[in-house]
Homo-oligomer: A and B are copies of this chain.
Amino acid sequence: MTATTLDLDAAFGALSDPTRRAIVSRLARGPATVGELAEPFDLTLQAVSKHLAVLTRAGLVERHRDAQRRPARLSGPALGELTGWLLDFRAHVAEGYERLDALLADDPRPPSPPTPRARRKP
């Protein structure tokens, strides 16, 4: 409740980096230290530490102290909020599509031109 007031900018931004997604992936299987997290990557510990800082600032990861170590673990609530935001969106999109269908039914245009992504002039 009240929640973390998740910063969507920071959260989405944090997940836009493949290294950070991999870190999140690993943390999803349980807490880990910076050293453990850094192992699979060809990165300095400092770099991983920075990535963790980004994830922490975004509210996606929590840290605590365990002797010299500062293990990180995922913050469930933030991920939940993020997911909620997207789910909410999908619903709106579905709604939008219905409306679009109505529009198209009124319009003498083919249902959906085959324009998946390619935007090159011939």
Residue with the greatest number of chain B CB neighbours at <10 A, chosen from A11, A12, A90, A117: A12
A40 part of interface (Cβ distance < 8 Å): no
Tallying the copies of this chain within the complex gives: 2
Q: Assess A96 versus B79: contact at CB under 8 Å? Given A9-B16, A12-B12, A112-B64.
A: no
Total number of A residues with any Cβ neighbor in B under 8 Å: 54
Q: Is the CB of B24 within 8 A of A89?
A: yes
The contact of A83 among B8, B80, B90, by CB within 8 Å, is B90
Q: Which residues of A84-122 are within 8 A (CB) of B?
A: 86-87, 89-90, 92-97, 99-100, 103, 109, 112-113, 115-117, 119
Minimum distance in angstroms from A99 CB to a CB of chain B: 5
Contact of A79 among B13, B83, B93, B95 (CB under 8 A): B93
Residue of B nearest to A21 (CB): B8
Interface membership of A47, Cβ < 8 A: no
Asked whether, in the complex, the Cβ of B18 is within 8 Å of the Cβ of A15, the reply is no
Contact A93 B117 (CB under 8 A): no
Within the complex, the shortest CB–CB distance from A88 to chain B, in Å, comes to: 9
Return chain B residues, CB-CB under 8 Å to A92. 28-29
Identify which of residues 1-35 in chain A touch chain B, using a CB-to-CB cut-off of 8 Å. Answer: 4, 8-13, 15-18, 21, 24-25, 27-31
